Structures are given as C-alpha cells and as structure tokens.
Amino acid sequence: MIETVKDKQGKVIAYAVYSLRNKFGLEDGNGVFVWVDEVWIHKKYRKKFGVLKRLTEQAYLTVPTAKHMYFQRGVRNKHVRQYTKEEIEKHVLGL
C-alpha cells in the first residue's frame, strides 16, 4: 500500500510504502502488523513538522485493525522501531 502527502499545488512531497504482516512477519492482508517498507520526504519538506505525522496517520486510518506499526531506521542506524496502537493514537492522532 502507498500513502502520499501533497502540497497545495498537488505535487507529491512525501510517500510511504507499507504492507500488512502476520505474527510471523509474512505478508498477510488480514495481518495486525503494519511494516513500513519505505518513506520518502522531499528535501524541501524534511524539516517541516507534520509531514511524517500525516503519513503515519493516513496509514493508521487506512488499516484500523492494525495493532502495531514498525519500520527500520535509516542507513546510519539499522534499529527497528515499533509503535503500538496506543502509542499511535496518543502521539499521532492525539486521542
């Protein structure tokens, strides 16, 4: 699945590619884990607050059954970061 964020002129300024996974890490349309494969943000918007938040919010709302969202950090750090449904609702959605 792909989520995009566009500027006022309709140009794509960011996108995220993600898939649903099951507890074994395999792709599964009914999975409860959202694996974020790739995130790209145009260099002009990388320091703008809210672009990554909007991508996360869109992905979360597209898959409301998801219980976790996780991704691997960039080139410098291969750490895998996982967010629970509760963390996303609190920090991203403000619930």
Domain limits at 23? 2-91
**Structural domain count of the chain:** 1
pLDDT digits (tens, 9 = 90+) for 71-90: 876 666 677 788 888 888 88
| SS3 of 11-39 | CEEEEEEEEEECCCCCECCCCCEEEEEEE
pLDDT digits (tens, 9 = 90+) for 9-61: 999 999 999 999 998 989 998 888 999 888 898 999 888 778 888 888 888 88
| 92/17: higher pLDDT | 17
Q: Residue 23 to residues 11, 19, 64, 66, 85: CA-CA distances in angstroms?
A: 36, 13, 17, 12, 15
CATH of the domain at 36: 3.40.630.30
